[in-house]
Amino acid sequence: MKNLSSVFLVSALIILLAACQPEQEASSASADKITADLILSNGKIVSVDEAFSIHDTIVVSEGRIVELGDASLLDKYDAATVRDLGGKTLIPGFIDSHTHIRGRPQRYIELSEVSSIAEMQDLIRAKAAELGEGEWITGYGWSEDELAEGRKPLRGDLDIAAPNNPITFTRAGGHSAVVSTSALELANITDETPDPEGGVFERDENGVANGIIRERQGIVGRLVPDSTYDELIASLEINLGDLLAKGITSITDASKRPGEYAMWEELYAKPGVKLPRSAIQFQWFDPEGIADVKARVGDGNEFLKIGPIKVFADGGFTGPAAFTKEPYLNQGDYRGYLNMPEEELVAHINEIHDAGWQMGIHAIGDAAIELVVDTLADALTRNPREDHRTYLNHFSMRPSDETMEKMAEHGIHITQQPNFTYTLEGRYVANLDGWRLEHNNPVRSPMDHGIHVAISSDILPIGPLVGIYAAVTRKGMSGRVFGTDEAITIQEAIQGYTIKGAFLGFEEDLKGSLEPGKLADMIVLSSDILTIDPEEIMDIEIEQTYVGGELVYQN
């Protein structure tokens, strides 16, 4: 019996060792895997590399992409976080290469969702009650094309809601505003006041100022008391963070003063803050201030840096004040304005070019575009600069083929807003006609001429999917189609909102596509943007947003 017990004991030990052996082998195999931080697998991962290749799995470590490939990468890597994409589409994060993000004060009203003047008046009444009589009320984002009354709000509309509060409401696009009677009086603007240089005080049929100021609304806006630092930085953090829900992982903020850079630095230095990467454009009104910031921050870092210098050549169509070759529709010989006298603009561009800066130049009307391109071509011929990457913001009207050929020859690029075709449809129809109306916000023709064209929002609206939809369908809000020969493919539109935006920031080797060594800035979409019916593009939702491999937004 003793020998039999020994046999049973030995047999049990052998069985126990055999049972443990597979677990040991698995543990050994795990030890052989390469350690990573994040693996996303079982998806349609659109790399936006040169071949526009598509993968199943992506591996991330220390904020950067390590490898892309098929599901076998799960056997090669061991990550702290492994997520199943469930077949969803993943693309690089959107890069908005021309936008405006600000902190807003307590006196501010957001007007972008307002659908009627009556609703606007209700918001004014509530804000006046909150602030008290005599306090300034400001706001941004109204558009007559989206108001039930089908017209612009006028001073009388504002006066009804708050007769004792000065009010200034900037139109979407930023090129005009409506102000109240109280605001006009504080600015000493009467019915007899002549139009300011480069701007218009609109008047009714009796010559009475109706409260609309085109392009020079700062005459009133400068009277608004300064906001407090604390309210602005708190609001700025919220407004920047909201971009992540739209899939935007990088922006170029177009037009700040050098003194504002410190607020952005403080915000980005906060522990645990979740924000998109930002480049800040300065206007050239304070070269010494710009030089001081440049000397202090150098090239900045992957999250915050100085961008190109901003130059305003002309106005916009929301005024309207874009500088055009032919008069506006049914407006006599009115052709809009340059933002400064031509000689001054030419000297301004040359000075910045000679100082060695990249420029992002606001040019909307065809006459403004052709003047700016001629000026840049002359400057580059006189003082060549390799890889300057100066570009035009907007390019809303299609210039001559000769101008586009000159742009390609001299490496002058574009950041275009196809979303304007959608949201500003009413402004184009009211002010343009024929061929120039059909070719508003051209994308295909400059690309065909060899010009590098990125896509951005200028916050009209800020959601990238509206821009992609309009670039592909060429449809306005009414459903009207404009110039289908300017349409591009979904693939090209994605490139415009990713890798081409990175190029304008000299960052195409850092982001804009999902490739080994690049930042893991990426978004998960609710639908396959490459195969969806173009009519459904704006219905796509952003399900997840990653910045540097960190999940910073989840729907």
State the DSSP H helix or E strand holding residue 249, giving kind and residue range, or none if neither.
Answer: strand 248-256
pLDDT tens for the chain, residues 1 to 555:
334 344 333 344 333 333 333 333 333 446 689 999 999 999 999 999 999 999 999 999 999 999 999 999 999 999 999 999 999 999 999 999 999 999 999 999 999 889 999 999 999 999 999 999 999 999 999 999 999 999 999 999 999 999 999 999 999 888 899 999 999 999 999 999 999 988 999 999 999 999 999 999 999 999 999 999 999 999 999 999 999 999 999 999 998 999 999 999 999 999 999 999 999 999 999 999 999 999 999 989 999 999 999 999 999 998 789 999 999 999 999 999 999 999 999 999 999 999 999 999 999 999 999 999 999 999 999 999 999 999 999 999 999 999 999 999 999 999 999 999 999 999 999 999 999 999 999 999 999 999 999 999 999 999 999 999 999 999 999 999 999 999 999 999 999 999 999 999 999 999 999 999 999 999 999 999 999 999 999 999 999 999 999 999 999
Contact 157, 163 (CB under 8 A): no
**Adjacency order of strands within the sheet including 359-363:** 94-99, 248-256, 277-283, 304-312, 359-363, 391-394, 413-416, 453-455
CATH hierarchy code of domain 108-221: 3.10.310.70
CA-based nearest residue to 517, from 54, 65, 59: 65
Q: What pTM does this model have?
A: 0.86
- Strand-pairing partners, residue 58, are 40, 68
253: enclosing H helix or E strand:
strand 248-256
Spatial separation of the C-alpha atoms in residues 195 and 164, rounded to whole Å: 25
- pLDDT reported for residue 30: 62
pLDDT of res. 482:
98
Tell me how far apart the alpha carbons of residues 37 and 60 are, in angstroms, rounded to a whole number: 6
Give per-residue pLDDT as tens, 192-238.
Answer: 999 998 899 999 999 999 999 999 999 999 999 999 999 999 999 99
Cβ–Cβ < 8 Å for 545, 93: yes
- CA-CA distance, 400 to 313, in Å (whole number)? 18
* pLDDT score at 26: 33
Count of CB atoms situated within 10 Å of the CB of 446: 23
Cross-strand pairs, 170: 140, 177
How confident is the model over 335-358, as pLDDT tens digits? 999 999 999 999 999 999 999 999
Asked if residue 84 lies in contact with residue 78, where contact means CB atoms within 8 angstroms, the answer is no
Q: Name, in order, each residue with C-beta under 8 angstroms of 128's C-beta and a sequence gap of 6 or more.
A: 135, 137, 161, 162, 164, 165
Which residue type is seen at 67? E
User: For the chain, how long is the longest CA-to-CA vector?
Assistant: 122
- Rounded to whole angstroms, how far apart are CA atoms 433 and 419? 19
Angle at Cα 467 formed by Cα 101 and Cα 304, nearest 5°? 35
What is the pLDDT, as a whole number, of residue 299?
A: 86
CB 352 within 8 A of CB 400: no
> Which pLDDT score is estimated for 540?
98
Cα 503 to its chain centre, rounded Å, is: 15
Identity at 217, one-letter amino acid code: Q
Range 313-488: architecture per CATH: Alpha-Beta Barrel (3.20)
